Amino acid sequence: MKNPRVARRYAQALMSVAEEENSVEEVAADLAMMERTLAASRELRLLLVSPVVFEAKKAAVMKALFGGKTSVVVSTFVDLLIDKHRESILREVIEQFLGLRDELRGIMTVDVTTVTPMERKQEESLAQELGKRTGKTIKFRVKEDPLIKGGLVVKIGDTVLDASVRRQLERLRERFVGTARTSTL
């Protein structure tokens, strides 16, 4: 994330307006649609972050793509981002907003890193265990990384639970190195 604090502030402001308008779910759906479009279009992402493209051109492109497809709240918000020269953080704002919406619903997003995809039973078991510990409904964002060699790494907010084979091997190596140093003294 380029600027998480700023993105969080804009997301909170948008959430505040959406709550006043009783349109949190509508705004979330519009933003999710925008995110899918941004994820699918490299050209659109480059346009939004380009310092050589004028704000009027960016606003016109966004209106052409999303005008009439999104609520007034969302289109006004996107115009505000462009006016404030913050359009480059639109994706981060969307991510923050959807996170805030999940918080309202009692849903916690947990990042899980595995070597291979988890089976359905494993996911359900892990979700149930983490749900008991946090008191929230768990939603996973799964990433595969062959470098962890096995096991998994779970990130809940700022807390990282590293049960990977790679970490266990690192600990074992640290122990061996520590033992070798003390035995030579």
Interval 84-127: pLDDT, tens: 999 999 999 999 999 999 999 999 989 999 998 888 999 999 99
pLDDT for 30 beyond 90: yes
Q: What are phi and psi of 162, to 5 degrees?
A: -105, 100
Whether 127 and 35 have beta carbons less than 8 Å apart is answered as no
User: Do 99 and 11 belong to one domain?
Assistant: yes
Residues 124 and 85 in one domain: no
**0.85 surpassed by pTM:** no
Share of the chain above pLDDT 90, in %: 68
Overall domain count for the chain: 2
Cβ atoms of 61 and 101 closer than 8 Å: no
Closest CA to 112 of 123, 101, 102: 123
Contact 112, 142 (CB under 8 A): yes
Give the tokens for residue 157.
């907010």
How high does pLDDT run on average in the chain? 91
What is the distance between the alpha carbons of residues 102 and 31, in angstroms, rounded to a whole number?
Answer: 14
Q: Of 41, 69, 103, which residue is a domain's last?
A: 103
Beta bridge partners of 156: 159
CATH code for the domain of 69? 1.10.520.20
